[in-house]
Structure 1
């Protein structure tokens, strides 16, 4: 009959529908190609698109090398773990009475940070400042206070998983630089750097850092060396040895 199709037959396709379908398929293919190309660009340069963490971009060269400041490289202090800390070429100032530290200031490195008291963790290691406050230094309260006779020990993060932290530039410090620690008794102890050491965490110079000293010293510790992604830690420590050479009220 007119207007009917034989059994088993298929109605002829509408040409307009076919053209529209072809256009839609081509548009979809083009869209997929565009997305893939964009992803390839982003993956090749993740830091330009905010996808690379600060830690992923950290240099893996041995520190310090002096290149960051354009100054000649300074020789790192190297000695057996039992050798005393290096002293600056200035006479030490007489030690002061104990007083809790409140802020640490290293003007040349742009550091001006509050100080928090820390103790020992359950595993016997020194606690570190909380990672959620990267601009915070920790003072080990079981040792001397800064300015008191003996070594005062402060720790700070080099970085967190998302940004740099309080001691990110500590490897740039140089012999003769000054470090100020503002204390609770309204005095400021001024320390002069005598040496910088990069030590493997496997051979940490415990005696040099924590051993008894007759003058007032300040030892700063942060991470250094290369970042081992398999264990989530740096291989080394950067240790700064400084001796109190003056103080002032304020």
Structure 2
């Protein structure tokens, strides 16, 4: 295996959270691979680990060897479980194709973005907006007033290009189900299509899916460098806490580029 090239995601700020609210995307810490700070989903006090004191989460991490050795294939009505924290992303379900060459000129890069995501298996056909970091280092989510809108983190690779592209979406809002309500039904081999403003289309094939606690989110596996074009879809899962307006878990779909157009 060749040495992975650094993706824009790995060069992002060392303290990146995907903050959840109501039925939105849960909090996820994105850090440099050599430094993974504790996760704060905004629903409780600051973890003691930020002050250098051990927490129950650290002890839970120490027992990660009891989890599955790899990310599972998923499937409708199949319980989702997390893989070991040190497990790599799942292997591609089908042969992969070379990444789409990166947009070179600044002008073209500024106007090129993903515009739509289609997932036939779960009947998703949704626009893609851009989400970015706030001054507090928190990654935004699509507005709750637009439940069928997804969000692409604009510091992650363009879909189809080298590295893990990140797209998040709400599972529900106060008004009911949202765009990624059925995300947990996806299974290895399902297709995901991402359309870009430059006419290119990236078809990804799901390689695995897991449901993980926000307290032990697998940062390395989700945001680490890859030597091919990959996609991560993220939403909330688990138990909903009405008081905290937050879910306990995240559902993460892993996919690899298997076809491209344009």
Higher relative contact order by CA 8 Å / sep ≥ 6: 1 or 2?
2
1:133-191 C-alpha deviation (Å, 9 max, x unpaired): 11100000111111000000000000101121110110111110000000111111000
The TM-score normalised by the length of structure 1 is 0.69
Unaligned segments of structure 2, at least 5 residues:
1-22, 24-73, 103-111
Look up the match of 1:157. Answer: 170
What count of residue pairs does the alignment treat as equivalent?
182
Q: Residue 76 of structure 1 contacts residue 195 of structure 1 at CA under 8 Å; is this kept in 2?
A: no
Alignment partner of 2:203 out of 186, 190, 194: 190
Deviation at 1:65, TM superposition (A): 7.4
2:93 counterpart of 1:80: no
| Alignment partner, residue 232 of structure 1 | 245
Secondary structure of the corresponding residue to residue 221 of structure 2:
helix
Deviation at 1:125, TM superposition (A): 2.4
Larger Rg: 1 or 2?
1
**Alpha carbons 1:88, 1:176 under 8 Å: kept:** no
**Match of 1:128, SS?**
coil
Equivalent residues of 1:87, 1:241 under 8 A apart: no
Mapped partners of 1:188, 1:106: distance in 2:
13
**CA deviation after TM superposition for structure 1 residue 79, in Å:** 2.6
Please list every run of 5 or more consecutive structure 1 residues that lacks an aligned counterpart in the other structure.
Answer: 1-54, 56-63, 68-72
Could you tell me how far 1:214 is from its partner in structure 2? 1.0
What is the CA–CA distance in structure 1 between the aligned matches of 2:238 and 2:135, rounded to whole Å?
26
1:93 aligns with 2:89: no
* 1:8-157 to 2 correspondences below 5 Å: 66-67=76-77, 73=78, 76=80, 78-98=82-102, 99-157=112-170
Return closer, same or farther for 1:203/1:185 CA change in 2, 3 Å cut-off.
Answer: same
Post-superposition offset of 1:234: 0.4
Q: Is the 8 A contact 1:87 1:242 kept in 2?
A: no
Report how far residue 89 of structure 1 moved.
2.5
SS, match of residue 171 in structure 1:
helix
- How far has the Cα of 1:207 moved from its partner? 1.1
| Aligned-partner Cα distance in 1 for 2:119–2:255 | 12
Is 1:174 equivalent to 2:174 in the alignment?
no
Deviation at 1:106, TM superposition (A): 0.2
Higher helix share: 1
TM-score (norm 2): 0.66
Shift of 1:77: 5.9
Superimposed CA distance per residue, residues 53-88 of structure 1 (whole angstroms, 9 cap, x where no aligned partner): xx7xxxxxxxx7733xxxxx2x64633333221123
Q: Distance in 2 between matches of 1:247 and 1:65?
A: 25
Rounded to whole Å, the distance in 2 between the matches of 1:65 and 1:212 is: 26
